[in-house]
Amino acid sequence: MQLNASAVRTVRRGQVQPRGITRTASELTSCHTQSVARGVLVLPGLGNNAGDYAPLAAQLEACGMAVEVAQVTRPDWSRNAAALTDPNWWRGTLKPRPAVDWYLTRVDAAMQRLKRRVEKAEAPIALLTHSAGGWLGRVYLLDWGTAGVDRFVSLGSPHLPPPRGAPVVDQTRGILSACSDMCPGAYHSSIQYVTICGKFVRGAPLAGSAKEVEYDIAGGNRAGWLAKFAGIGYQQVCGDAEVWGDFIVPQPSAHLEGATHVDLEGVFHSPLGGQLPFFGPWYGSPKVLELWLQHLTGEPGPGDATVGRTLVQPAEHVSVHAA
């Protein structure tokens, strides 16, 4: 079935309220305004390039926002291999800098372009981060400053390190632990933090038959191997295979303490999801964007509040199939 925005409800602190959506998918492509309402700086996730976010940026521009994407290419991510020469990588005590300075300088270049665009309108700026761009954005705000920024929104970002003592290898080799120590939770009081995570599949342990580990995936029962594959990744990120997540990032790792938490049913991690029929819509797909756009703009929809934990959940499991 197609994603039905009218079926969405907001659940906050145990209370259920009906809610509406401020913009439909068609309106997202035609809500032009005469002046810039907000600046948005997009931080790409691991393995992605700037072009992957062009459709999302176009939707936001159509809504009167000035959007800049940090200019990262897929080959650029190989620069992370330079950290192998740091003894801290081998000890698992690696710090973000200078390991990811190459990325942060791209972010700052995009920020300066964006500030020039919004300067006349004096529009506020939101950091919109995807996947690893989430913790990278937190490091950027810590070391480059928060001037002009009033919102931080992460989409499927692994913010937290694996639990101490968990029998897994921290894939960031200590960087996430360093981030949690240096800028824990919703660190900057002047910024509204929103962490968003998709509930695409509940992971399953690798051991056991496929029949024993069938779970609802994007609204339907599918082969257990997909749940097992997700579980392998979840285990490495949060120490537990049997949790919900967006197929790459598990929910327990995606939310920051003190932030507004948004969980989206049936939403896949990557922009590639919309191109593959056995996955599903990603965070930037038009009908999914409807569900969280108000958290980016700072304009609450009906029944919304600006604080507290928010669970955005369709009334039933949702599956969006590629055309």
| 3-state SS assignment for residue 135 | helix
Residue 76 CA neighbour count, 13 Å, CB half:
20
Domain annotation covers residue 14? yes
Residue 272 lies in a domain: yes
Cβ(254)–Cβ(157) under 8 Å? yes
Return d(Cα 23, Cα 205) in angstroms, integer.
40
The residues, any chain, with a CB within 8 Å of residue 290's CB and separated by 6 or more, are 5, 21, 22, 23, 24, 25, 28
69 in a structural domain: yes
Asked whether 231 and 206 are in contact (CB, 8 A), the reply is yes
Domain at 162, CATH number: 3.40.50.1820
Order of strands, sheet of 201-202, starting from the edge strand that comes earlier in the sequence: 220-221, 216-217, 201-202, 244-245
pTM metric for this prediction:
0.81
Tokens linked to 6: 């009218």
What secondary structure letter does DSSP report for 60?
A: H
- Residue 255 belongs to some domain of the structure: yes
Residue 156 lies in a domain: yes
pLDDT tens string, the chain, 323 residues long: the values are: 233 333 333 333 222 232 333 444 445 544 544 578 899 999 999 999 999 999 999 999 999 999 999 999 999 999 989 989 899 889 888 899 999 999 999 999 999 999 999 988 889 999 999 999 999 999 999 999 999 999 999 999 999 998 887 778 788 898 999 999 999 999 999 999 999 999 999 999 887 654 444 444 444 445 477 899 999 999 999 999 999 999 999 999 999 999 999 999 999 999 887 677 668 799 999 999 999 999 999 886 533 433 334 444 432 222 333 23
Whether 70 maps to a domain, the answer reads yes
Burial of 229 from C-beta contacts in 10 A (0-12 / 13-18 / 19+): middle
Helices (H), 12-157: 25-28, 54-62, 87-91, 101-118, 133-144
In a domain, 223, yes or no: no
> Which pLDDT value is given to residue 322?
28
What is the rounded distance in angstroms from the CA atom of residue 78 to the CA atom of residue 231? 26
Q: The tokens of 181 are what?
A: 């120590």
- In this structure, the strands spanning 260-265 and 192-199 are parallel
Tally of structural domains, the chain:
1
Owning domain of residue 158: 5-198+244-314
Q: What is residue 31's predicted lDDT score, i.e. its pLDDT?
A: 52
Query: 296: part of which helix (H) or strand (E)?
Result: helix 286-297
d(CA 136, CA 41): 13
Q: Is residue 22 part of a domain?
A: yes
